[in-house]
Amino acid sequence: MAPSKAKATSKAKTPSKAKAPSKTKAPSKGKFHLGFGLVNAPLAALAGELINYRHAPALVKRSDGKSEGDILGFVKGLRLSAVLIYYFRDKVEGHGLEASWGHLLDKGQLTCSRECDVIIHTKGSIHRWNGTDRPIMDFKFIEAAKARAVISCKSILTSKEIDKEYPKELKKFGVKKVFLFAECSSATNFDNLRKKAKTAGYADLCCLYLTGPQDYIEMNERMWYDFGNQVLAAVK
């Protein structure tokens, strides 16, 4: 557990588009908890990376004044879910579990679920697409009975982006715990979004960072840490 004295929430403004956002300050000497920092490191790095792309888009301007050449939204979304998979692989590997991207297949293998960004499951899959030592993609078809939890990933989370049907659909495949993870949401609206997510059937909501007026950015590392432990407790 992280020590109670360690500050887990950082607040900072992103500078102008030509500059990278300032780095989150580590707790002062004597207050830094090594395990806490190691666990959060992949998410902290991802947050810094995606904040840059979100708040400092491509500088090339067309004749109409609009920017162009930004990274495709789908690719940024895939980057988000991929790092989350790597993060949870490290957390669950000691418990005989895997983290994968894919579909769940029903008992008779007649139908599959919608895409699952992150599936925490017992080891093994029925089939995988392009999964090699150096894969372009690694998409798995997994027996629903092997799934312990699913995490749905979103980019900018608003009330409209909370899919109320998704937890219900996965429940038909026997998945009891469905979590929601977003790149970002409004800082002032986060508590409301979390409440709506839980009402819709999600076990909990976590955001990589929160946004506000005048390029306000908030990264709550305590929330990341607690979310990871909550998912781990659900799948053990």
pLDDT along the chain (236 residues), means of 10: 44 42 44 76 92 72 72 87 95 94 95 97 93 83 97 96 97 97 96 98 97 91 94 95
State the burial class of residue 55 (Cβ atoms within 10 Å of its Cβ: 0-12, 13-18, 19+): middle
pLDDT, one tens digit per residue, over 109-147 is 999 999 999 999 999 999 999 877 787 889 999 999 999
Q: What is the pLDDT of residue 18?
A: 36
